[in-house]
């Protein structure tokens, strides 16, 4: 039997391969996930590098998308509701060149729970920004390489 983390990674790989191949190409891996946060790693490799041998900014956006979106998708599945989930707005601040594997952390589980509760009770689309921090622990410790605020848009369907 698979652990919850292994199941999450299997679901992420199937979703990426079948629905968003660019995510699959980046090879994200969920390192940790609970009700409050998700931690995702994208390895620095040939397909994720730019000409400066650092992670391409588009791949950084993919990592932020996965960290913010996967937590919301898994929470919606837990409550047994089908939701329409999208990102409406992106604010990204690229602070340093990430020259090793990048860790994306989203700790907005409570905010997402509140959004889902509001969407379920009102039937309306709810939009709120979730924060994702990108770090390179192997080279720079916990110093942020990039900060993202993604406006998550959730609506219960069906």
Give the global pTM.
0.95
pLDDT at position 158 over 80: no
Average pLDDT value over all residues in the chain: 95
| pLDDT tens figures, 29-67 | 999 999 999 999 999 999 999 999 999 999 999 999 999
Residue 80's pLDDT is 84
Average pLDDT over residues 93-111: 97
Ranges 14-18, 75-79, 112-116: which has the least confidence? 75-79
CATH architecture group of domain 4-156: Roll (3.10)
Average pLDDT over residues 114-143: 96
CA distance 136 to 100: 6
| Local confidence band at 69 (pLDDT 50, 70, 90 cut-offs) | very high
Residue 81's pLDDT is 82
Sequence ranges of the domains in the chain: 4-156
Token couple for 97: 């060149």
């Amino acid at each position: 039997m698979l652990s919850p983390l292994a199941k999450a990674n299997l679901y992420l790989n199937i979703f990426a391969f079948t629905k968003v191949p660019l995510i699959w190409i980046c090879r994200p891996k969920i390192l940790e996930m609970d009700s409050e946060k998700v931690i995702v790693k994208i390895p620095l490799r040939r397909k994720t590098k730019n000409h400066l041998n650092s992670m391409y900014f588009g791949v950084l956006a993919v990592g932020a998308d996965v960290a913010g979106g996967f937590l919301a998708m898994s929470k919606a599945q837990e409550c047994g509701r089908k939701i329409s989930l999208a990102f409406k707005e992106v604010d990204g601040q690229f602070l340093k060149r990430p020259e090793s594997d990048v860790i994306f952390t989203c700790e907005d589980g409570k905010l997402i729970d509140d959004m889902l509760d509001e969407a379920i009770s009102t039937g309306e689309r709810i939009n709120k920004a979730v924060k994702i921090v990108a770090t390179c622990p192997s080279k720079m410790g916990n110093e942020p390489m990039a900060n993202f605020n993604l406006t998550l848009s959730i609506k219960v369907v069906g």
